[in-house]
Structure 1
Amino acid sequence: MGTFERRNQSLNLEDKANWNEDPELIVVLLNIKRVREESCEDEFSGQREVYFEGGHVHKGMFSKGLMDGWGIFTHLNGLTYEGEFVRNIPTGRGKFTWPDGSTYSGGVVDGVRHGFGTHTCAKTGVSYTGEWSRGKRHGEGTVYYNESKTSWYKGDWVMNNREGRGERCYVTGNTYSGEWKCNVRHGEGTMKWLKLGQQYVGNWCEGLQHGKGTHVWIQKREGGLQYFQNNQYHGDFLHGQRHGHGVFYYAGGAIYEGEWKNNKKHGQGKLTSKNGHVFKGEFKDDKMMTPDLSGIRSPSLSGPDRILNIECLLRKIPQRKQDTECKQVEFVILQRDSQLRSIYSFYSRLGHSDCPHNTFLLSRLQFWCLLKDCSIHHRGITLTQINRLIPGNTGREIHSPFTSMLFHELLSSLIIIAFHIYSKDMKSQKNLLASCFSKLVTDDMLPNATKVKGFLFREPDFAAAAVTYVKECWEVFQVFCRVNTAHGEDKTMTCRQLLWMFKDLNFLDHHLTTGKLWEMITAGYQGDPENLTSHVDLEVTFLEFFEVLLGCAQVKCPVSDALEESRGRLSSESDALQTDAQTPSKHSQTMEDSTQFVMSQLIKSEDETPQQTEATEEDGLILQTSQHKFQLPSETLHRFFNHFFFPAFNHYLSVTRKTKNKLANEKKKTERHEE
């Protein structure tokens, strides 16, 4: 038996599937140990099965003692190559199978991947189909980063790097189409953030927006309907932030043109309101420092949705300063217009099921929720006192949860609230109303709005079920309200009266004790809950009253009991459900669509290599939301209100009515006897 020492005595093969490095080759010495078919010639030809020293095996065609033609070579470490050979060199079409199960099928030159082929990694499921050059992805090709093929790149490659033009789809659904360099977005390109509803078209550098570009915030209604106008910025970017000169078109109609720094208006700029008012001056950290008010044509806060009712505050300011105060307040509103509208939109949808048009008026109940989320009632003023400050409402409307508020009425209320909270601390400010309002929005509202607290609105499906009991509970609330002599005929409820109500309804027991009930009543207030005198005379709104009831539902009707009752009810109704073709309506509501006003920032991130996970690669925007699960099923509400609370209230009314009738009859008898 002969050897290959006189000709090509070694064989080069790729040792493993390297994606981002030079291909590693192993050199196989081909000293023949034995040939299965005996041959008296050293240079045998034809089909042979040859065993080499070290344990390598080749089954296939030979020509003059060399592997030539189709064959299967198996290396001692488990690597196999099945394909074409030319004079001991794997060249032509072939398939590599590595010990870990990874495979490559396609063109091969000098023992390495070259030409067109497909590589699949057994461990990660990553696959690449396209052009190769000397063992590297080079040319046009497509890589899928997961087995479900929801994450992929299609485009140009240069020596294993995404470089040139290509399209990238991330597992989140976000997409980028444009130029690449060294695996990152670089050059002209378009990025779309699907869930955030945002899009950027322009220049990129090392994976970040850099140079000229346009960023659009696409605002959508529930049901997928898109608003006609969107927030849009066109101008300079630096390292992923608005920086340089640019124009911002606000969805509300206002326009800012000027200088930017680190995503904020900074330098000389011009802000034009929806109704044509122009503010020119120097901006610093998104605030106007030296406004030029000469371009304002009217001292009034005009516009159909900005007719403010703040006369009660203007009377406290010298008449010569009132016009300037109004203009400065309007300027603050213009600055925060899109954010305030988004807050209004978010809270006006709380408690509502899906609506294709997503158009609701803000109710007083939702307004109270906003104030509580922003901890306004911790600023030395109660929600009931705020009710009395809001202009335009009289009588029962003041405290009714059903009273609606238009957007300009919300603005008026917030300006008045801000003045009552901060006027003493900011009396030295040049523009008092604007300074107080700006502080309320910046310090209290923007950091806290949409982070829903409390029992009622925290979880959307539960809220949709709970609001169905609001009307009946409002009737109960009014029965136990008492006249507050300090405010004329104004009827309200105090913490003391709320505690007495539960006693009158015989609701207190070893589960719902007085101490536990008091903790629920005072949960939203600052101070020592054990100091009864500091809370007993505080007035509560209907929202606070209703959330105490929801807390009691959790105590009186534990989840396990409600679920047990639910099982029994479902069992008894199973036959009817099988023949009933109706499907229950679904209550769904997402906070994510309602937080578009949060000014997101782009953050730098590296695109994943095939060895990395999608989570490390996904670029994106910072979007802060607050979502909490409140595990109180609607079955608990049904059991509490229909089996406990409403029956107890009706019994109380019946007993009270009989007692009153009895006293009236006794009084009549006494009067007759005296006659």
Structure 2
Amino acid sequence: MASKGRSKEKKGSKKEKVVEEPPPPPPDDKKEQEAEDYGDDKLMDEQSAEDQEPTKQPTPPPEPDEPSLAHLIVEHYEGEMVRGLYEGEGVAYFCGGHFYKGQFYKGMMHGRGTYTWSDGVVYEGDFTNNEITGKGLYHWPDSSTYEGEVLNGKRHGHGTFRCMASPASYTGQWKMGQRHGTGIIRYDTDGLSFYEGDWMSNKRHGYGVRRYRSGNVYEGEWANNNRHGQGIMRWVDLNQTYNGQWEKGVQNGHGDHTWYIRRLPGSQYPMRNQYIGDFLYGRRHGYGVILYANGSKYEGDWLDDKKSGRGIFTFKNGRIFEGIFVEDRMADYPEFVMDGTVTPDISEIRTRTPDPAGPNAGNLTSRSDDSHNTLGPSLTLDIDHLLNRCTDSEKEDELQQVMFVVLRHVTVLKKTYNFYSSLGHDASPDNTFIMTKLQFWRMLKDCRFHFLDTTLAEIDRILAVDKGATEIHSPLDKLLMREYLNHLITLSYHLYLEDCQESEQSTIAWCFDHAIRENIIPYGCDVQGNFLYEPTRAINALGYMDKCWQVYKSICTPSKFPPHDHTLKMRDFLFMLKDYRLINERLTSRRILEVLSADDPAAYDSETCNLELEMTFLDFFEALIGCAMIFVTEEVVKDPNTPRPSTVASHTQTTFSTTSRATTSRGA
């Protein structure tokens, strides 16, 4: 006699913990996701009261189990028979009030048919040797349905379950009656709340995207129904984003947390605070860097969400304090407040370089009215390494001339910074972004700085100041506006020093002005390359940035020369493609050289090639995309042996790579 059971799956859910950042989110906002998870999971719950978990814990969305066909005893049969066996079309009535109408073969239900249980459950579909196997449709008494593949009466393969008691539904892969594989569960009919990704034994496990009714979204790794591993969470209502490691639903490990504040009228600062560093159970703990909206910066130790231990605080005017912090305050100045939104009076605080007053001013008390910087606090220059090449009598005049160049071209400089820092990003509340090294590289290539007998890797070494060998070429380094200016001044000096006439009174200023006129003004903001110039390409490409970054680092080798940084040569890139068996009759060595030379003519001129040129990650990423456009043909896409991506991207994304829209186009 057929029997029908109820699922007793337990599906836990963790509260979404918002990292408490200044300003902290309201307590009610912190609890929203917990309530939302609870409400969504409860939509599909049909368990009896005695099976429910305590109300403080969210309950799972169960589905009715499939009835079995065990112990079939036929009481009556109507239909065709051959040699005493049921054959062809017929109707069989079983003990217990169940009956089957459909095809028979050699006395067994085989083919298409409909089986109806006495409690109202109905199955329509394929039968194989008295087993429900193939494709079919289940109907439960409450009007819930399952349509898809079945094996031995269990949902197995691909199918869709719809719960009529609520708007919830699941479409995806099943394994012996449980959600297992890739699938999407929708908690409403308008698509505002859903989870799409990997499942294991009815639990979110693997990689997936969870969108909540509030608009908040988590995308990343899951384990046992919890956010666990690498992932990014966007709190739309709180204007915050966290991208990093999670453990049991809480931020734990290394991460990047960004939160926005309302932009002040006339402000030139990107009004966002950003913390990059270690977290412990949802709080800043360990080593980390925080970039304040007004341009200030703290780098050092944290304890329980507060600055604690040794650290370096850089004020927005460029002055630096280095020392011990206790309870979020400078130990030597406990009454001094640093909230990142205003510039406090630092006249009584002993700071160190950069200070244009002189090389020995770092140990003196510095006052803002003594500063020779006329550019404003956001554009403070730090070019002591260049000024030290001048005589003491020339330093002040050199610095003054460089400031005049900045003021003369400040509109162009700000335009290029804002333009390139926005590439690959959604529009922000203030339309301002902090430039990354990847974007800076793109700007240098567009402005043809690499045409001057140098590579981006060599430029990185020129600009590397107090950086370790492993940090020189990171594409995710952040550049504030003043750091961007310092880099351009330093680079132009190294590239154009030999062209400077001896009659020029200010060598540094002449080189900088020459670079602006010859490189930035004529070529800036005309995005080249294979992906950043077009929004859709940028969206698709940046989704794979992190995996490509891991591949890039794995094949880089340390340089034989100081600072012994890890680099990749074009020859190594070709060998990598060969090892991965990507070189074929379409993607030939010549076509690869053409891809490499599209952005760097020094690589190949149709007759000779230079495979000893070094590649930064941008060069590597652009070349990969260019080769993929040749390698992936329509035949490759249609080939059943070609690996298929999941319904959601199976990669972990950085803050930069999780944008859904770029904000520029070629020739903008």
TM-score, normalised to structure 2's length?
Answer: 0.41
TM-score, normalised to structure 1's length?
Answer: 0.41
User: Relative to total residues, which structure has the larger helix share, 1 or 2?
Assistant: 1
